[in-house]
Amino acid sequence: MKWPIFQLQQIATDLQPGFARQPSLEGDGVAHLRTNNVSKDGHLDLSSIKNVVPSEGERKTYSLLPGDILFNNTNSPALVGKSALFTTEGEYLFSNHMTRIRVSDKLAHSRFIARCLHWVWKTGRFRTMVTQWVNQAAINRSQVARLTLGLPALSEQRRIVEILDQADALRKKRAEADAKAARILPALFYKMFGDPATNSKGWPTKRLSDPQVATINPRFSGHNVSADTELSFVPMADVDEIWGRIVGSQVRTYSDVMRGFTPFQDDDVLFAKITPCMQNGKAAIARNLVNGRGFGSTEFHVLRAGPIATPEWLYILVRLAWFRRQAESSFTGTAGQQRVPADFLARYEIGCPPIDLQRKFAKAVVQIQEWVHQKDRSRQGVEALFAVLLHRAFTGDLTAKWREAHMKKLLAEMEVQARMLESER
């Protein structure tokens, strides 16, 4: 079905870029949403919020109302265009890396437009529109205003949103189950090793860069590696921030990666140093690499375990929320391009538990990771279902005729996925 095409500026009553302000050191003021608060699944994540102290004029100009859409206009090229619907009560402002989109309720359903923008981002269309410079890209306000969208009647928009909301509810349940399970290993870390902030069990204290503990960003020698040797390649996007694992399987030749990338080998720990990846928990143990070696994003620090440390202990340590908060306080660089310096890791002091206890912990880590791998089928099924519906919704296929022919099967599939989630409780 062909829907009427509108530019976003024809249905929007407001396209307002946000404002820049340093966070309040005391934590007072008003919540200031930033790009990391817009998740890749099209939702707002309010778990980590910075507060700012705005002027009265800024509070009036940049306040958000339920039904507003936040559009990520400046970030890495892959993340420009992330969007989410704001539905929260209370006072919230938004940063200059985002644009507030407020649509006319006489022409468009805000949930429909938010879903549509998410679909456009998922298709990669925004990547063709960005202006790019080193590690950064942007879409300006006029480009956002001219964005074209197909728009059915309001009643049809609501029906489409209802179906997408049902499928998305399964995604949320899946994400909640994953988040609950992801807390198991940090909890076990504290139970076995005590609170690392106070070294409550009195373990011997050493710096992370002590050769007995770890080597930070170890050097790589390619003397015995031929140019056509195949190696694993891990971009930042291939590290899962929920489970902390490498989810991609890219392979490149040594000649393709020998310059401009970070080298590592099996059992090394990869730790994202750049914002917001570091705060989001992007870290992983490199395992099962092609020919035992790999290269990846320059935004990784590498920790190679020494004789008194296991990769699993180092890996969970750097993923602890407590550790990441300290790492964030060491950031250098400008806003949007802040990084954890290698010196922070090198100088970091930590109580080192006995290696036998660490090995016991390592076995638990492996068991949990195997369980996660087994649950991937359920996770992939939920995501595939939503992706299909999203595609059909905004290519005009999710029509009344299609719904009549397929809704029974669709609801049955949703029920199967819901039962699988219930079985995990």
Domain co-membership, 208 together with 192? no
- Tokens 């090995």 belong to residue: 359
279-306 mean pLDDT:
96
Kindly give the residue spans of alpha helices, DSSP state H, lying in 30-183. Answer: 56-62, 110-122, 141-145, 154-182
pLDDT for position 402: 64
Return mean pLDDT, the chain.
89
User: Which amino acid would we find at residue 280?
Assistant: N
pLDDT for position 316: 96
359: confidence class by pLDDT, cuts 50, 70, 90: very high
89-117 mean pLDDT:
95
Cα 30 to Cα 21: distance, rounded to the nearest angstrom: 11
The residues, ordered by sequence, that sit 6+ positions from 344 with a Cβ below 8 Å of its Cβ are 327, 330
Q: Which of the pair, 18 or 156, is modelled with greater confidence?
A: 18
366-380 mean pLDDT:
80
Cα 425 to Cα 418: distance, rounded to the nearest angstrom: 11
321-341 mean pLDDT:
89
Domain co-membership, 407 together with 343? no
pLDDT for position 384: 82
CB 418 within 8 A of CB 173: yes
233-260 mean pLDDT:
92
Domain co-membership, 185 together with 114? no
368-386 mean pLDDT:
79
Structure tokens at 230: 């195949």
Is the pLDDT at 1 greater than 60? The verdict is: no
Structure tokens at 36: 């990391």
Identify the DSSP state of 24.
Answer: P
91-98 mean pLDDT:
95
pLDDT for position 222: 84
* CATH value at residue 24: 3.90.220.20
Q: Which of 174-183, 235-244, 298-307, 329-338 has the lowest mean pLDDT?
A: 174-183
pLDDT for position 168: 87
Structure tokens at 44: 């707002």
Is the pLDDT at 48 greater than 90? The verdict is: no
User: Which amino acid would we find at residue 170?
Assistant: L
Q: Which of the pair, 382 or 346, is modelled with greater confidence?
A: 346
Domain co-membership, 4 together with 139? yes
**pLDDT tens digits, one per residue of 149-202:** 999 889 889 988 988 888 888 888 877 777 777 889 999 999 999 999 999 999
Question: Which residues sit opposite 216 in a β-bridge?
Answer: 303
- Tokens 């899946």 belong to residue: 174
CB 319 within 8 A of CB 283: yes
* CATH value at residue 179: 1.10.287
CB 139 within 8 A of CB 80: yes
Domain co-membership, 243 together with 314? yes
pLDDT for position 173: 81
Cα 143 to Cα 163: distance, rounded to the nearest angstrom: 30
Cα 320 to Cα 302: distance, rounded to the nearest angstrom: 17
Name the nearest CA neighbour of 208 among 316, 329, 330, 351: 351
Q: Using alpha carbons only, what angle is made at residue 115 by residues 113 and 116, rounded to the nearest 5 degrees?
A: 60
CB 303 within 8 A of CB 216: yes
Domain co-membership, 161 together with 142? no
Domain co-membership, 7 together with 95? yes
In total, how many domains does the chain have? Answer: 3
pLDDT for position 411: 59
As a whole-number percent, the residues of the chain with pLDDT over 70 amount to 92
Structure tokens at 343: 């010196």
Domain co-membership, 329 together with 387? no
Question: Helix 355-374 vs helix 311-319: angle between axes, to the nearest 10 degrees?
Answer: 70
Owning domain of residue 129: 1-150
- Whether the ω angle into residue 276 lies within 30 degrees of 0, i.e. cis, is yes
The residues, ordered by sequence, that sit 6+ positions from 216 with a Cβ below 8 Å of its Cβ are 208, 209, 301, 302, 303, 342, 345, 346
Domain co-membership, 424 together with 341? no
Element (H, E) at 14: strand 12-17
Domain co-membership, 318 together with 367? no
The residues, ordered by sequence, that sit 6+ positions from 380 with a Cβ below 8 Å of its Cβ are none
Cα 256 to Cα 374: distance, rounded to the nearest angstrom: 33
- Whether the ω angle into residue 4 lies within 30 degrees of 0, i.e. cis, is no
pLDDT for position 414: 59
Domain boundary among 129, 150, 171: 150
236-249 mean pLDDT:
90
Q: Which of the pair, 361 or 181, is modelled with greater confidence?
A: 361
The residues, ordered by sequence, that sit 6+ positions from 59 with a Cβ below 8 Å of its Cβ are 30, 91, 93
Name the nearest CA neighbour of 327 among 277, 263, 261: 277
CB 114 within 8 A of CB 42: yes
Structure tokens at 159: 């029906």
123-128 mean pLDDT:
90
Is the pLDDT at 308 greater than 60? The verdict is: yes
Domain co-membership, 338 together with 373? no
Domain boundary among 133, 150, 167: 150
Domain co-membership, 140 together with 42? yes
